[in-house]
Structure 1
Amino acid sequence: MRNVARFPLDDGSTVTVALSKELRDLDGYRDVSLMGDRQYDGSTSLNQAMDQIRRVANAVVDPLTHITPRPDDVEVAFGVEMDVEAGAVIAAGGSDGHFQVRLRWKSQDGAEER
């Protein structure tokens, strides 16, 4: 049995995402095959979910760009999972969500210092 979720796009089309776990207790599914496959409709659009991710990324990166001395490069990595009810959520690493942050400063001659 496979479970998928459909998330609407702003242009009216949809994107279908395979779900990694079964959601037996979730209302709003449709049986879509004789093999027991189910389809859920996401409660938010993919565009709205990506707006959430942009806001999170800005909230993490912005304070890091104000460090003194200012880093030449700021890199933040985090996983994103699509949830049928919540939209985009930060992927958990174990039992907690997490971010990887890398800051780089370059010396005057352009060689990487740290």
Structure 2
Amino acid sequence: MSELVRWEMDDESVVMEVAGQDVSGFQAVGMGEGGVLEAKGRFEESLRNVKNAATKTLDVFRDTKLNPDGIELEFGVKFTAAAGAVIAKASSEAHFVVKLTWTRQER
């Protein structure tokens, strides 16, 4: 069973569907089964650690030895009460897809 959880942002809020086992630690705002739960932290704060992990991952591949023309980083984000936003797992491990591209220069 899933629940709706609201995260506050600067000018508005965002409501997301969260799996029922991931909602412990939220404070109930609505009444009854259709109630919306309120996240304790702000939306931006919950994404900060994910952003830092993405930045560090990109830094590793932006070195002068590889020197790619383009980098694509793909990962899923899961929201939980205890940790906020976390990198979602695929099977039993965290999941990142990194794609590096090089363009041949005409000589």
> What's the secondary structure of 1:44's corresponding residue?
coil
The answer to whether the Cα contact below 8 Å between 1:43 and 1:86 also exists between their aligned partners in 2 is: no
In the superposition, relative to structure 1, how do residues 77 and 25 fare at CA in structure 2: closer, same or farther (>3 Å)?
A: closer
Q: Structure 2 vs 1, CA of residues 31 and 81 (structure 1 numbering), >3 Å: closer, same or farther?
A: same
8 A contact 1:5–1:40 mirrored in 2: yes
Q: TM-score normalized by structure 2?
A: 0.80
Q: In the alignment, what sits opposite 1:15? A: 14
CA distance in 2, matches of 1:85, 1:38: 20
Provide the residue aligned with 1:29 in structure 2.
28
TM-score, length-scaled by structure 1: 0.76
The size of the alignment, in residue pairs, is 106
What's the % identity of the aligned pairs?
25
Structure 1: which 5+ residue stretches go unaligned? none
1:83 aligns with 2:97: no
Structure 2 gaps, min length 5: none
Question: Per-residue displacement from partner, 1:42-86 (whole Å, max 9, x unpaired)?
Answer: 122111123222211111001101041411111111001121231
